[in-house]
């Protein structure tokens, strides 16, 4: 049996100057964030109008901070829901507070392309239900 003991004396721990990020001492600017649905992938044309069930689409979230340094910021897509606008039913959560898909078989986890863009590719689907029923 191997036993390993690890102890760190926090009083002796130093952070090198090149590992410190100097953040501005002021209110951070509000980002300019956009959500688009595109055909097929992140380079596809922006979806306008109707689509058919099963068509491949790409959900894309992007943010920018205009003149501010973008290396200080990043995005996390979270707390997303889907709802039927023609129904009085409650919205159904599809991405949780940690950014994880709650239905990974039909909606994959968000993939990030840099710090300020996230997206996921899926096929158009319809939820015609009033209440989520778990399948065991």
The model's confidence at residue 3, banded by pLDDT at 50, 70 and 90, is very low
Q: Domain tally for the chain?
A: 1
Query: Which residue in this structure is represented by tokens 């979806």?
Result: 47
- The stretch 32-52 carries a mean pLDDT of 92
111 domain-assigned = yes
100 domain-assigned = yes
Spatial separation of the C-alpha atoms in residues 51 and 104, rounded to whole Å: 22
- 71-123: pLDDT as tens digits: 677 899 999 998 877 777 788 899 999 999 999 998 999 999 988 999 999 99
Total length of the chain = 136
Spatial separation of the C-alpha atoms in residues 54 and 75, rounded to whole Å: 29
112 domain-assigned = yes
Quick check: helix, strand or coil at residue 72? helix
Q: Which pLDDT belongs to residue 4?
A: 44
- 5-20: pLDDT as tens digits: 444 455 555 656 666 6
How many angstroms from the chain centroid is the CA of residue 41? 16
Domain extent for 49:
20-123
42 domain-assigned = yes
């Amino acid at each position: 049996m191997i036993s390993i003991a690890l102890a760190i004396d926090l009083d002796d721990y130093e952070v090198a100057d090149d590992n410190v990020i100097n953040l501005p001492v002021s209110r951070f600017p509000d980002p300019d964030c956009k959500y688009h649905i595109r055909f097929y992938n992140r380079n596809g044309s922006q979806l306008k109008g109707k689509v058919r069930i099963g068509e491949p689409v790409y959900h894309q979230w992007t943010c920018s901070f205009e003149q501010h340094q973008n290396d200080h910021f990043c995005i996390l897509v979270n707390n997303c829901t889907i709802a039927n606008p023609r129904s009085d039913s409650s919205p159904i959560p599809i991405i949780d507070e940690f950014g994880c898909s709650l239905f990974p078989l039909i909606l994959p986890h968000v993939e990030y392309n840099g710090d300020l863009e996230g997206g996921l590719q899926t096929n158009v689907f319809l939820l015609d239900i009033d209440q989520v029923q778990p399948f065991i």
